[in-house]
Amino acid sequence: MSEETINLTLKVWRQKDASSKGHFQTYKADNISVEMSFLELIDVVNEDLLRNGDDPIAFDHDCREGICGMCSLVINGIPHGKDQAITTCQLHMRRFSNGETIVIEPWRASAFPVIKDLATDRSAFDRIIEAGGYVSISAGNPQDANSLPISKENSDKAFDAAACIGCGACVASCKNASAMLFVSAKVSQLALLPQGEPERNRRALKMVQQMDSEGFGNCTNLKECEAACPKEISVENIARLNREYLRASLVSTVE
C-alpha cells in the first residue's frame, strides 16, 4: 500500500536578520507524507530550496522529542500548532488536510527579537533564571535528602512546575507578551521545597525584577498561556508567584 501524502501551501515568515524588515513568502510543499513531523516538513522545503540555490528557512530545533523547547513556531496563529500539550516537533502532518494553507511565524514578542526567519533570541529567559541565583543548601547524601520532610502535595506541585521547558509559548500566546507563567514555574519549583528556602525571598524579587527589565508585559489572567503550554503548566503558579513576591517585598521592607 502506498503511503498517504498531501499537498500544502506554506506562507512562511522570512527575515534576513534582526534589523531587516520581514515578509511572508509562499512555498508549495507537494507529496508530503502524513507521517512526517512538522519540522520534517520544513526540512523537505529547505532541501528543495538548497537544490535551487536559495537560502533555506532558519528555524530553531534540537531534540525533536518534545524535551528541549527549541521548536518555537506559531502555526496558523497558535504557538506549537493546534494540538494541545505538545511541542511543534511532536505535531504531525496527518493533522492537516490536503490542499491546506499553513501560515508559519516566529514567536511575536519584543523581548524575543527575531534573529532570522523563524528563529528568535530567547536569552531573556536565561537572564531571568540567572537572576534567580542558585540553591546554596547542601542536601547531603541521598539518604539525608530523602529524610527531608516534604508533603506529597508540595512535591507533586514542585514536580509539575519543574516540567516547564522554557520554550516561550506562554509569551507568544499572551496579548501582553507576559512571561509570568514561565517565571512562576521557575519560582514555584523551588519555593515549594525546603532546598529552595534560603534564597526564597531573594529569588522571587530578583526574577520578577529581571522579567520586568526584559520588557515582558503584565498578566491579565486570560489563561492563554496555560492553553498554549506544551507541558500544561497551571496558572495556579502565577497566583503563587504573586504571593511569593508580596511576601518577599514585605520581608525585605522589614529587614
Any idea what the CATH number is for the domain that residue 132 is in? 1.10.1060.10
Whether residue 99 sits in one domain with residue 38: yes
Read off φ and ψ for residue 131, nearest 5 degrees.
-65, -30
Residue 130, φ and ψ in degrees, nearest 5: -60, -40
Nearest Cα residue to 28 out of 13, 14, 49: 49
> What pLDDT, on the 0 to 100 scale, is given for residue 142?
73
| Cα angle 86-164-212, degrees, rounded to a multiple of 5 | 120
Same structural domain, 69 and 151: no
Considering the domain architecture, whether residues 28 and 127 belong to the same structural domain is answered as: no
Same domain, 132 and 221: yes
CB 154, CB 133: distance < 8 Å: no
CATH code (residue 53): 3.10.20.30
Q: For residue 69, what is its C-alpha cell?
A: 523547547
pLDDT of residue 135: 85
Angstrom distance (rounded) from CA 149 to CA 154 = 10
Q: In which residue are the cell numbers 514555574 written? A: 185
Choosing from 82, 116, 150, the residue where a domain stops is 116
Q: Among candidates 167, 64, 88, which has minimal Cα distance to 122?
A: 167
Predicted pLDDT at 148? 76
Q: Give pLDDT, residue 253.
A: 65
What residue numbers bound the domain in which 66 lies?
Answer: 5-116
Helix (H) or strand (E) holding 238: helix 236-254
Give pLDDT tens digits for 6-51. Answer: 999 999 999 999 999 999 999 999 999 999 999 999 999 999 999 9
Residues of the chain with pLDDT under 50: 1, 254
Domain end marker among 116, 149, 166: 116
179/88 same-domain check: no
CA distance 87 to 38: 10
Whether 43 and 158 map to the same domain: the answer is: no
User: Which of 116, 148, 171 delimits the end of a domain?
Assistant: 116
28 lies in the same domain as 103: yes
State whether the Cα torsion 243-245-250-252 is positive or negative: positive
In the DSSP assignment, the letter for residue 217 is B
Whether 177 and 83 map to the same domain: the answer is no
The number of helices, as runs of H, and strands, as runs of E, in the chain is 9, 7
pTM (two decimals)? 0.94
Provide the CA 118 distance to its chain's centre, in angstroms.
14
- Asked whether residue 141 falls in the same domain as residue 242, the answer is yes
**Are 151 and 221 within one domain?**
yes
Residues 160 and 87 in one domain: no
Mark whether 159 and 96 lie in a shared domain. Answer: no
- Total domains present in the chain: 2
